[in-house]
Amino acid sequence: MTDARPDETETLAAELLPLALEAARRAGELLRDGRPDDLTVAATKSSPIDVVTEMDIAAEKLITGHLAEHRPDDGFLGEEGASSAGSSGVRWVIDPLDGTVNYLYGLPTWSVSIAAERDGETLVGVVAIPMRGETFRAVRGGGAFLGDRPVRCRPAPPLERALVSTGFNYVTTVRAHQAEIARRLIPQLRDIRRGGSAAIDLCDVAAGRLDGYYERGLHPWDLAAGDLIAREAGALTGGRPGTRPGFDLTVAATPGVFEPLQSLLDDYGAWHD
């Protein structure tokens, strides 16, 4: 890993953020305004009900094309196949349509998630939620914003009054185990929500609309931007105790809820199938 001076990092982030915002805006407009009435499944991922539509693919091409036009030496990691190492040390981590099944059914809970990393650390995160008319953004060390308004996570309630969101895998056997975790967790909380977009759930923790969120099975493109936004809004994030958020487990919550929620999830085995 190469060290960079703070002013160099700030200068780089100031260059990357407008590019991410513009790419997310364009992709969001394409998805919102270009959704065909006869939208169909183009491919499947983990199971026949974990789908890719033609619009996922089109949105990723739009995003990578815009970013590559301005920064041709950067790398890419995209959910729908964009993958290149690049030579600049910057990698864009892209989910062009987080919440594809919601989008397929005409539900509004879907988003465009774009993050920029350098040396494994996320510098910039943008999550656009077109059907809400909202765009969340964060720069590492610079706070989190909804549009131009700073956002902060909620003051911590007792765990039994915490509203927590989660997500479920599309593989039936995995989902059954996750449902059992939720069944054991519900009596410990105010309630559980299931929105269908990890990026939106993380942003809703940042904005104080949720006290916490957890999920197993997230990929880097699912969480990179939302994780930064949640942390910059004052939330704590992690995986199993002592680890970073990742595929095994992602937990994000307001301080005071994070540790007891993480502990319960670890005890219940939420980190394995």
CB 225 within 8 A of CB 245: no
- Kindly state the percentage of the chain with pLDDT values over 70: 95
- Mean pLDDT within 137-159: 97
45 has pLDDT over 90:
no
Contacts of 244 (CB under 8 A, 6+ apart): 237, 238
pLDDT at 160: 97
The residue type at 209? R
pLDDT at 39: 83
Supply 148's token pair. Answer: 């131009």
pTM to 2 decimal places = 0.94
Helix or strand run (H / E) with residue 62: helix 54-70
pLDDT at 2: 47
pLDDT averaged over every residue in the chain? 94
- Mean pLDDT within 35-43: 80
The residue type at 143? G
pLDDT at 50: 59
159-268 fold: D-Maltodextrin-Binding Protein; domain 2 (3.40.190)
136 has pLDDT over 70:
yes
Helix or strand run (H / E) with residue 44: strand 41-44
44 has pLDDT over 90:
no
Domain boundaries, the chain: 6-151, 159-268
Half-sphere exposure of 187 (CA within 13 A, CB side): 3
pLDDT at 215: 98
115 has pLDDT over 90:
yes
pLDDT at 72: 97
DSSP letters for 75-136: EEEETTS-EE--SSSEEEEEEEEE-HHHHHHT-S--EEEEEEEETTEEEEEEEEEGGGTEEE
pLDDT at 47: 64
Write out pLDDT tens, residues 229-240: 999 999 999 999
CATH of domain 6-151: 3.30.540.10
